[in-house]
Structure 1
Amino acid sequence: MAIASVESKLILDELDHIQMMPIKMPWKKGFRKIPPTIKRKVETLGADAVIVAAVKKVKHEDVNKGIYDHLSFTVEDDKLKYPERIMPQENVGHTSKVNVNGKEIVRKDLPMTTKTFSFDTPNFGDAATYGTHTVDIVRDVYQRDHIAPRDNTIKIETIEELDGATVVAFTVEETFDLSDPNLEGDLLFNLNLIQENTGVSDIFGSAASLEDFKSAIVVEWEILPPDTREDNLTKILGKVKNPILVKTISDRYGALEKLKPRQIIRGTSGFNRYFGAMFEDDLVAFENLEYGNALYVMYENWPTLSQKTRLELRKSDGGGYERIEHRADWEKTLARVVNQKRDE
């Protein structure tokens, strides 16, 4: 072989090695068993068949950092671009590798079996002169089960475009009958496949649409007493450690506090966290901890309005709420709107 060919082969081998190295993800890659929340959902979903799917807010800055390169995500003109569906790469993790290649299970629980291995060896150490002969070696080996590849793909769809982020639905394209005796193992496999690749996992009825995915983005509200500032801030901040964000949230809490609310409210959904204040039964002000660019004052059926995405609010007639951006005079605007609605 020519030197150039040897060098080319070494380069190709090194590239193959790099491509096969496991990809590190900033999220938990999988589960040893089906999470209790998923089991409960299977029991209460009211469907005969289910799919593994999940919703996630994908930050464009994370895409630009390369966190979603394995999904071929890119951002162009502040829009998330992606293929309609992807076949998970085998180096994303164990489940993705099995999905593409299948696997072999060594059955140490079964009796060993005898197997003959044959190979050619040179006669008198010189195959060119004296030829070769076959040598057979008999060994006891464990029996093995061969599991075929599943070749499952993940479908990708946009639910909502946000400022600097996109809410995306991921769906593993395989349907499971709830009466299938193999349901638990198959469901766990797909939960791990989607979790490994996206960092989120959930299940829906097999006929779920984008509207069903949207309805899963539910904000659950907790009512807190207004006179326990430090305790409330601890609950609202959760694991937030960024000193700038901590100060921002504390300052905004203070602005709401000045208007003497009846209660403080704290809310969470699958990927968002909110806090705000209730001034009357039908008058609340709240904002998203992550977006941070505006707060919403809602004064008509706020529990229902608060479940809507910002896209749905924009598409509505605009009634029932006011959006206040955090400009220089936002506190004055907030006070004006709250006092005006209190007097109505």
Structure 2
Amino acid sequence: MKIENSTEGDVMIKGQSIRGIARLIAEAKGANHVMFVAQLTAIPVARQKEIGINFLKNDGDSILASAIGKVSSFNVSGKEIKRKDLPLIKKLIPQYRTWKDWHGKEHDGIQHRTMDVYPIEFISPPSEKLSLKNIDGMIYVASRQMDLLSNPEPIAHLANLFLEYFGEFEVFDISKHKISGVSTRQLQWEVLPKGKYPWSKASSIVTPFLTKLSQSEKGVIEHRMREISKYEPDFLATGRGGYSGYFVYGFTSRNLYFLESIHLNNATYVFGSDWEKLSSLSKEEIINGEYEHSRVIHDKKWVAKIRQLLRA
């Protein structure tokens, strides 16, 4: 890690990563309440598009940026730790396959294979967002405000997140800068034009996100999306940045919004009209919070449960 003083007297951090924040605190020279910033015009356009901050247009716009490396992947998706110190457990693994019956007729669908696996300990993602901020009349990509004397772990994570995205950032002493007070606006979703979205139409929107999946994984995800699209939702939203690969299928007259993704281990979440607010929360916040929603696990009963919700 390299630390320099910028022309305004703030601290400039350069490098690939930091291990702790002790030196950062020392170099801040008593400035405890700070925010990390990177000047927007100094960030290459290609990098802006890669991480999704190109969607930020106005002061206060905010987004969970895309994963491009180890730190940002943890920020978006959390971390799974395979507990090899614990006994193996049984787990149903969905697989998409085709087969022929006794008459030679070909069939396809989801089959679940039981496998012995180690238990997984899941560490929730920090989900730190980037915002566009007008500071002293200039536009920056900024972190949230923080106290350098508080819990050092999330501060170090934010610092490494900025280094992974931008290679450098400045530490602004909040007391020395005029920061706009515009309320934050989340830009995680692009709502597509109104109209029916059967699979024949939705597939062209979903398919580009499946290119990195295996053939079996692709088949499983398409099967799930196709099942929901079968009921012709009249609303479709696609995720941006860290929510890329997430889709919201809406049935507006029934006030049902299904959050589905290209990730095999994610459940289907069903929300009401406040879907946008709730879908931006972490899984832990949704499951443990007092929010009205349904969570449908992708098991052998998933299709029946989805059909029951949509036929009710």
Q: TM-score, normalised by structure 2?
A: 0.45
Radius of gyration: which is bigger?
1
Q: TM-score, normalised by structure 1?
A: 0.42
Determine which structure has greater relative contact order: mean sequence separation of CA pairs < 8 Å that are 6+ residues apart, divided by chain length. 2
